[in-house]
Homo-oligomer: A and B are copies of this chain.
Amino acid sequence: MDKDFGPREGEQTVDLPAQTDAGLYFIGRIHTPWKERKDCPKNARESEVVCTLAVDEKWAPGLKDLATCSHIIVLYWMDKSPRNLVLQVPRHYGEPRGTFALRSPARPNPIAISVVKLLKIDGSTLSVIGLDCLDGTPMLDIKPYFASVDSVPDAIVGWHKRNKS
């Protein structure tokens, strides 16, 4: 477990189940300039850095037609995160929040999702803008972003809004 993630005051953990219920295949790796957690951008939208998604050859035929998408959803596995936190205290907020109300990588299933801008696809390598994860992060899935179902411009996260005001 990453030492950056030890339980802090106000945090609550649970005992993890003895067994997992399903298994994942890593379909490739994400390459970014960030080698340590402290180097990662706070918010992916703050960064214009071009990152690359290296899809394993086995899965590369699945990329057909994807280049016609302006934006894609990337699912990846935050393999350095603890999975037993139900309440956690994000450093920049200072009070306990429920895990499911946060986008923290620490969660029962540390699957992160990012909406990124697709620049180009070269063989099995995609160039994208909008990631903030560590170099070498395992990739789980790539999906087309459909504004018709995925975009909700007026959505509100109440606790976050209050926190900022």
Residues of A71-105 at the interface with B, using a CB-CB cut-off of 8 Å, are: 71-73, 75, 77, 79, 83, 86-87, 96-103
Q: How far is the CA of A148 from the CA of B153 in the complex (A)?
A: 8
A window 48-72: CB within 8 A of B = 55, 58-72
Q: Is A149 part of the contact surface with B, judged by Cβ < 8 Å? A: yes
Interface contact A152-B151, CB-CB below 8 Å: yes
The main secondary structure of chain A at its interface with chain B is mixed
Please give the number of chain A residues whose Cβ is less than 8 angstroms from any Cβ of chain B in the complex.
Answer: 76
B156 near A153 with CB under 8 A, answer no
- In the bound complex, do residue B25 and residue A141 qualify as a contact, i.e. CB atoms below 8 Å apart? no
Query: Complex: how many Å from CA A100 to CA B66?
Result: 7
Take A70-B155, A111-B141, A113-B73 as given contacts and tell me if A20 and B23 are in contact as well, using a CB distance cutoff of 8 Å: yes
Q: A residues bordering B, Cβ < 8 Å?
A: 12, 14, 16-17, 20-27, 43-45, 55, 58-73, 75, 77, 79, 83, 86-87, 96-103, 107-109, 111, 113-115, 138, 140-160, 162
